[in-house]
Structure 1
Amino acid sequence: MADGARISRVLILGASVVSIGLLLSESGVAQTADAQPAGRASERAKQAKRKPAKPKGEQEAAAPVMNARAQIGAVTVQSLDTITVAASKTEERAIDALAPVSVVTLEQIQGLQPNRLSDIFYNVPGVSFQERGDDPSTVINIRGLQDFGRVAVVVDGARQNYQRTGHNANGSFFLDPELVGGVDVVRGPTANIYGSGAIGGVVSFRTKDIQDVVRPGERWGVDMTGSYGTNKDRGLGSIFGGVRVNPDVDVFGGALYRTQANYKDGNGTEIGNTGNEIAGGLMKLTVRPADGHEVKLGGIFQDYQYSIGQENRGPTTTAAPLATIAGSSVYASDVKNYTGTLTWKYSRPEDMLWDWNFSLYGNRTDNDQIKTYNNRITTGGGVCTLANPGNNISGCVGDRRSYVLDTIGVDVNNTTRFNFGDWSNALTYGFDAFQDDVTTSDGRGNSNITTPGGLRTVSGGFAQLRNNYSTWLEVISAIRYDRYDLHSATAGVNSGGDRFSPKITVGVTPVVGFTPYVSYAEGYRAPSITETLIAGGHATGGGPALFVCPDGTSGLFCFLPNPGLRPEVGKNKEVGVNLKYDGIFTAADSFRGKINVFRNDVSDYIDLVPSTPVRVPPFGSFSQFYQYQNIAQARIEGVEFETLYDTGLWYLGIAGHVMRGKNLQNNVGLATITPTKVTTTAGVRLLDRTLILAVQWASFSANNDLPAGYLPSTAYDLVNLYLTWNATKDITFTASVDNLLNQYYRPYAIPGSSTDGTTQNDVLFSSPGPGTVYKAGLKIHFGGA
């Protein structure tokens, strides 16, 4: 009944968008616009889209890229030609940015038919994912850095800081790919002006908006999409629509519903609890109150229903096979994610002093869980009785726990432009701040210890000067100030710190199309609430307690808080080259490429460190304490490349990376380093470019340079096939085959148990990706003037 009500609400939300569009289009909306003087209406529309004069390095980017997404059959624009602001807060094409920037467009996302966000990043170098099949949240790793905000993830400018500690990555977020209109990725701390903490990089998601659905010349438009996939019973339905009420007001919204059953890996093994249901929607209202001003109010809601955890694989009444068959407790999870944003942008072509953006946002992730299965090797199914008290790691069947993270934030910046002789200059300056409020509730279990509650406030300001001399020299210099304050009344902890982080980039263009650059940038990441405050005994799961902890609790081992934990500082050195050539062999062909070499030295890198093992007769030797500590330094270095040659009729692209990372204190590899990846994509456009056929081959190596006790990831090759057919200007058919070779693969290393060295089987059981998946979809467009 609850599921039906939830789905109904989502469908009603989507249908309301269509109703608004039809109602307004038929009830005199056109008359409202026509009642204005023709010159004023057209001028307001132009003013809303104009950008002010920019330095030479930005002039090419000033002309908007044709919205091929809204014009079925239009020539596809190379993604590296897409406008981005992620690296420098000023508009530029990704190919021109003196930074390791990649863009994923809506066209690419729709052609890939992704089931989860990680499906759209195969072509992006330096990016990987540490995900569980039984958890639909997304965990992004950039250049071997993840967890606790090392990668800043923003959705429509709102930071996604959710974190829950368990047998999973320490940092994840919830976003369905059907809501996404485009993604900008900046690797490394080169985007330190974008926000605090991003020593690994920034991933900026833009959700769909009116320009993605309503085509030029239309006043209203609606896109309806449906798809089905095998392995197993993957279904998606969505509706998005918008209306231009008049040149000064836009209304847009949409809804989706996605479901799937448990999938099988490449070996034919069903992965437990990989089925889920997702419902979501968004609404946006855009108002242009005066020339150059645009105010946008947006809201996103998502509801995820799934079960996380793995049951035992074998007899549960004998302890003999425990090491090989033990899974974990299972929780029925209901995650609700809310994001609200208010942005106010101003720019006018004649105004060189002001070009500013104000953003206010709030995000809540509320994860409510009910225990449905207890993995104790005993009879009784985990139901709490006097004879069977349940599993003290996580309570008894029927017990509830919840994790809530509220984030509020603000981001304000402005660009002032001025010329001096042959120098064109842009000064960008701003301020940003956010506050995380973590609340964990677990009446009988262990979650209050492993994910402690607390309050953290992080703020900063920056100034960036971008200088362009003639057409051949560009210099970007920046300084950022960061401050954080962390507070927990229950733990009696108050800590904080601050720092200035510099950045300098120099690029030259000795000949057209060839732009080498060098860059040095620093980033600053404040310790998280969990890293600082985690304290108490890790529960035994039903066995004997091995240690008594300083706070009086007992368990298999003891977590120790560290209020003196120092922030991490990333110092990144980078050399890169941008390649941009048109008309190489024919008048219509083009080549784009970005190649870079980097080394990121992270001072005071934070890691979970065990104490020296001690004997605990008759069980063996074990570490009594685990504490997040600063190690002297970690070093991550590598090469990244992204290229695409496009003739218009066919295209070929190669992208990938090679990297390594070390804990320089003990010369042991970092467990989260991304294995070598090379992705080759080739495609052909037929039938007057209405039919696109593509093949993608992603080859991954295994990372064997790991701390003791880790099971390496597998080396594997994924071959995917894609078809997009624009049958008419309003009907698009898509089909794809994922993992054509039915490969078994585990994309990341599996940690060992903290007590006996055995593999954490719940992670091992849930980490393999799906085997072969066949998918087909249909999109229908409605619209009118």
Structure 2
Amino acid sequence: MIRVFRTLLMSSVLVSAGLAAGHPAWAQGIPEGGAPSDGNTDTLDTITVTATKSGENVYDALSGSSVIGRDQVQTQVQPGSVSDVLRLVPGVTTQTDASDPGTGVNVRGLQDYGRVNVLVDGARQNFQREGHGANGTFYFDPEMMKSVDVTRGPVSTVYGSGAIGGVVSFTTIDAGDVLRDGTHFGGRVKGVWETNGPAPLIHGEVAARPSDMFDIVGAATLRRAGDFTDGNGNTVAYTAQDLTSGLVKTRIRPADDHEITLSALRIGNEFDGGLSTIYGTRAVADTFTAGYRYTPPDSSFWDLSAKTYYTTTDVRQRALTGRDAGGFKDFSIGTFGVDLFNTSRFDTGTLSHQLTYGGDFFQDNVETFDSYGTSAQLTPSGERFVAGAFIQNKVNYASWLEVIGALRYDSYELTGDNTETKGTRLSPKITVGVTPWEPITFYATYAEGYRAPALVETLIDGFHPPPISTGRFFPNPNLKPEIAHNVEGGVNLRFNDLLQDGDQLRLKVGTYRNRVDDYIEQVFTLFPLPGGYQYQNIAQAVLRGVEVEGTYDAGTFFVGLAGSTVDGKNTRTREGLKSVPPNRISGTIGFRALDGKLELGTRITAVGEKRDAEEFGFEGDAYALVDVFASYKVNDDVTAGLVVQNLFDRQYVQYLNIYPNPGMTAKASLSIRY
């Protein structure tokens, strides 16, 4: 490891010597919740951390990055699931089972088995299970969300191995989200009534800040959802779900330069569902984190962050019907990880450097049990250890040029029944940004990513559970890692006082081409006889697309736009990739009145059809949805809201999902802070 780090350091110095970059513009912009600067509120552009780990404005970031804040979500969406939140982000979609609240995240047509690195408070969510739905899901309560930070593509070298699709990082609330400045104790109670289910929800938060050295927050949610009806008015069976969640987070500041953060989050879901067999399921996801920051204000060398975490997801099922009635299954994965990095800032002549370097590792331990033995073979037990080190230099020159050079070293080792595989690789990244005029920045990036095979992909072995027989599944200990070669470019626009005093325009437009060598996909093989299914490296997959995201805010009204096109092909067969979602665009227009206390608007979303994966049994029809939202701030402590989704009761099935989506759903909420 010493030799590896020495190689990384020397390589970074060589890269940095030829780089020059400009200080990014720091402009007033649209806040997390989308509220304008109306003379009463000072606003700044939201900050993305996943782009470079050092934090920068979204519309300055030289990448496809987006941040969705709590205020925007609570006002415009009132989410009942993670999918309600992520559909606001261009290039991002989800795969869900209507009877299972677990969510699979898809970024730019890549999902499952760690292709998208999903984090909660910096802790990886690595649960994977072979099945008919997404083969990589996580459980989360959006009421606990402070913000979600998304960077698309394999450009987040500093955020760990495997993320050839991108990084989706959720941050949970802290005491500062509950307490007003200068107060020592307080809380918030929120109630929601959802008509299509129905689904009552109660959420509570309480926080204390006895001094500047210590604060703590506790939160809990209880949601009871019944079976919903689709756009045709038919009840979709087995869509009822019970959610119970709890969060405790504390921050300790023993001195001005030091901060310790401890958090514990539990998400518990209970639901019934299945295809040929109905199972009663309890899914429990725990996330424990311990973080440390050292940020002395008088030092340009130290900006240190260290985090260790342990996450576990345990899904226990009891068969309620069929030949296996009374039988039990248990799928459990525990992930222990460490993430350590530091950022040093210094100048060499006319160049200003922001050098970030560090390392990380995690270990997955998968344990499965099936009283009838079948599912334990299809989701086999085993261990996977992944480690890496990185160095990144962001170099600034004058105010018009910025260059980021980075290298990441990855290694992995996977062990199971009589199987052991391992591998290593060095992945580079180079980004160039040019700002010819202060409000406009052009950028281009070349980045590589590396994803080690998952335990399921390598070790799966057995037959499909009865009564449906689709043949044998074969292991493949010779699977090679996937290697992504991503080229992308774009433009960021940041205009103030464009059409009138105080208005703001922010816009990001980008295009990309991501070539994934040794792409892993499940295919049918004739040998060994009588044949069956196996995960194999297909020669190459190429994904390309365009993304646009922007907003214009004039105070009394605002307009938002988010859209993406994605096309993906298996270059060997020229067939479409089943994981590539259809094209999508959404537009939002809203108005504010009564000194900003009242906000109301509508969002229209159009989704194209999907036909190039029909041979896999997947296709999608085009559809359009209309949502409306309204929020009224009664006073500083009381807010009432109303959101109506699928206003015209459209019947549709989101691509990759099996069941239809809900028809018209109204959500009324009341939030009281004390």
TM-score range, shorter chain: over 0.9
Q: Does 1:483 align with 2:405?
A: no
Per the TM alignment, residue 166 of structure 1 is displaced from its structure 2 partner at its CA by 1.2
Instruction: Map 1:189-228 to 2 at 5 A.
Output: 189-228=154-193
Match of 1:516 among 421, 434, 442: 442
Per the TM alignment, residue 69 of structure 1 is displaced from its structure 2 partner at its CA by 10
Equivalent residue for 2:4? none
| Equivalent position amino acid for 1:467 in 2 | V
| Equivalent position amino acid for 1:224 in 2 | V
Match of 2:637 among 705, 730, 744: 730
Q: Report the Cα distance in structure 1 between the residues aligned to 2:294 and 2:36, rounded to whole angstroms.
A: 28
Equivalent residue for 2:137? 172
Distance change (3 Å), C-alpha of 1:372 and 1:525: same
Equivalent residue for 1:606? 520
| Equivalent position amino acid for 2:447 in 1 | A
Q: Does 1:104 align with 2:72?
A: no
Q: Which one has a larger percent strand, Structure 1 or Structure 2?
A: 2
Q: Does 1:427 align with 2:355?
A: yes
Q: Can you list the C-alpha shifts for 1:297-338, whole angstroms capped at 9, x where unaligned?
A: 1000121111121xxxxxxxxxxxxxxxxx421111011111
When the two chains are superposed, the root-mean-square deviation of aligned CA atoms in Å is: 2.2
Instruction: Map 1:692-703 to 2 at 5 A.
Output: 692-703=599-610
Match of 2:298 among 334, 347, 350: 350
Per the TM alignment, residue 78 of structure 1 is displaced from its structure 2 partner at its CA by 7.6
Kindly indicate whether the alpha-carbon contact (under 8 Å) linking 2:24 and 2:399 is maintained by their aligned counterparts in 1. no
Q: Can you list the C-alpha shifts for 1:149-180, whole angstroms capped at 9, x where unaligned?
A: 00000000000000111111100000011111
Equivalent residue for 2:122? 157
Distance change (3 Å), C-alpha of 1:530 and 1:471: same
Equivalent residue for 1:468? 396
Per the TM alignment, residue 60 of structure 1 is displaced from its structure 2 partner at its CA by 3.4
| Equivalent position amino acid for 1:770 in 2 | P
| Equivalent position amino acid for 1:122 in 2 | R
Equivalent residue for 1:125? 90
| Equivalent position amino acid for 1:581 in 2 | F
Q: Report the Cα distance in structure 1 between the residues aligned to 2:652 and 2:387, rounded to whole angstroms.
A: 41
Q: Which runs of 5+ in 2 are unaligned?
A: 1-20
Equivalent residue for 1:710? 617
Percent of matched pairs sharing the same residue: 41
| Equivalent position amino acid for 1:345 in 2 | R
Equivalent residue for 1:742? 649
User: Does 556-565 or 358-367 show the bigger shift?
Assistant: 556-565
Equivalent residue for 2:571? 664
Distance change (3 Å), C-alpha of 1:191 and 1:65: same
Kindly indicate whether the alpha-carbon contact (under 8 Å) linking 1:68 and 1:77 is maintained by their aligned counterparts in 2. no
Q: Report the Cα distance in structure 1 between the residues aligned to 2:618 and 2:135, rounded to whole angstroms.
A: 19
User: Does 114-123 or 398-407 show the bigger shift?
Assistant: 114-123
Equivalent residue for 1:443? 371
Residue 373 of structure 1: SS of its match in structure 2? coil
Match of 2:321 among 373, 376, 380: 373
Q: Report the Cα distance in structure 1 between the residues aligned to 2:172 and 2:395, rounded to whole angstroms.
A: 32
Q: Report the Cα distance in structure 2 between the residues aligned to 1:574 and 1:73, rounded to whole angstroms.
A: 36
Kindly indicate whether the alpha-carbon contact (under 8 Å) linking 1:84 and 1:94 is maintained by their aligned counterparts in 2. yes
Q: Does 1:93 align with 2:57?
A: yes
Match of 2:284 among 332, 336, 339: 336
| Equivalent position amino acid for 2:26 in 1 | E
Residue 59 of structure 2: SS of its match in structure 1? helix
TM superposition score normalised by structure 1: 0.81
Equivalent residue for 1:83? 47
Kindly indicate whether the alpha-carbon contact (under 8 Å) linking 1:589 and 1:648 is maintained by their aligned counterparts in 2. yes
Equivalent residue for 2:18? none
Match of 1:362 among 283, 291, 310: 310
Distance change (3 Å), C-alpha of 1:443 and 1:73: farther
Kindly indicate whether the alpha-carbon contact (under 8 Å) linking 2:37 and 2:43 is maintained by their aligned counterparts in 1. no
Kindly indicate whether the alpha-carbon contact (under 8 Å) linking 1:610 and 1:626 is maintained by their aligned counterparts in 2. yes
* Count of matched residue pairs: 653
Q: Report the Cα distance in structure 2 between the residues aligned to 1:66 and 1:583, rounded to whole angstroms.
A: 16
Equivalent residue for 1:313? none
Structure 1 segments of 4+ aligned residues over 3 angstroms from their partners = 55-61, 63-79
Residue 531 of structure 1: SS of its match in structure 2? helix
Per the TM alignment, residue 346 of structure 1 is displaced from its structure 2 partner at its CA by 1.3
Equivalent residue for 1:23? none
Equivalent residue for 1:245? 210
Kindly indicate whether the alpha-carbon contact (under 8 Å) linking 1:611 and 1:623 is maintained by their aligned counterparts in 2. no
Match of 2:471 among 557, 561, 573: 557
Per the TM alignment, residue 108 of structure 1 is displaced from its structure 2 partner at its CA by 1.0
Distance change (3 Å), C-alpha of 1:743 and 1:579: same
Larger radius of gyration: 1
User: Does 587-596 or 64-73 show the bigger shift?
Assistant: 64-73
Q: Can you list the C-alpha shifts for 1:623-680, whole angstroms capped at 9, x where unaligned?
A: 7221100011000001000011110110011110111000001000000101110100
Per the TM alignment, residue 565 of structure 1 is displaced from its structure 2 partner at its CA by 0.4
Q: Which runs of 5+ in 1 are unaligned?
A: 1-54, 310-326, 375-389, 391-395, 543-554, 615-621, 751-762
Kindly indicate whether the alpha-carbon contact (under 8 Å) linking 2:32 and 2:69 is maintained by their aligned counterparts in 1. no
Q: Which one has a larger percent helix, Structure 1 or Structure 2?
A: 1
Residue 289 of structure 1: SS of its match in structure 2? strand
Equivalent residue for 2:454? 528
TM superposition score normalised by structure 2: 0.94
